[in-house]
Amino acid sequence: MRAGQPEIDFEALFAAAARVQSLAYAPYSNFKVGAAILADDGAVYPGCNVENAAYPSGSCAEQGAISAMVAGGGRRIAAILVLGDGEALVTPCGACRQRIREFASPETPVAVAGPDGVRQMFSLAELLPASFGPDNLRR
C-alpha cells in the first residue's frame, strides 16, 4: 500500500457490493453484478448493473460505483471489488477497465469475488496492460 492510501478492507467492500448486487436491475439477463470502490479518502462507494431494453444503454456495476464516487466527491480509486454469481470469474468488461483507469493507477488492486468471497486479486495493470490514462494527456 502506498503512503497516504487508506487500509483496504476487502470484507467491507464485499459486504457493500453484495448489498447492492441484490438491488441490480437485470430483467433481461438475470445476471446481477455489484461493485464497491474504496476511494483514497477512505469512503466506500457501491454500484450495481442497470439493464435497459436497448442493451447498449445499460450500465455496469463498476460504472455505477464510479459515478457514485464522483458524485460523493471522491476522485481516486484505492481499490475496487467486483461481485458476480456463477463459477466463472466476473472481471470488469473492457470499457469498465478503461473507466477504472481514469481514476486509478496501474497498481490499484482489483478484487474479483463470487458469492462466497474474493476469488482472485489482480492489479489494474494485469487487467489492462500498457493502458492509456490521464497521464498520457498531461504535459
Q: Look up residue 14 and give its three cell numbers.
A: 464485499
Q: Determine if residue 54 is labeled as part of a ligand binding site.
A: yes
- Could you tell me which residues come within 8 angstroms of residue 77 by beta carbon, excluding any fewer than 6 positions away? 37, 38, 39, 40, 66, 69, 100, 103, 104, 108
60 is in an annotated binding site: yes
- Check whether 55 is labelled as a binding-site residue: yes
Q: Which of 62, 87, 102, 126 is catalytic?
A: 62
d(CA 72, CA 26): 25
Is 107 annotated to bind a ligand? Reply is no
Active site residue 62: yes
Does residue 96 have a known ligand-binding role? yes
The residues pairing with 111 across neighbouring beta strands, listed in sequence order, are 81, 121
Beta bridge partners of 45: 37
- Cell numbers that stand for 98 in this block: 478503461
Is 93 a known ligand-binding residue? yes
Please check if 78 is assigned to a binding site.
no
List residues with catalytic annotation.
Answer: 62
Binding site for Zn(2+): which residues? Answer: 60, 93, 96
Binding site: which residues? Answer: 49-55, 60, 93, 96
Binding site for substrate: which residues? Answer: 49-55
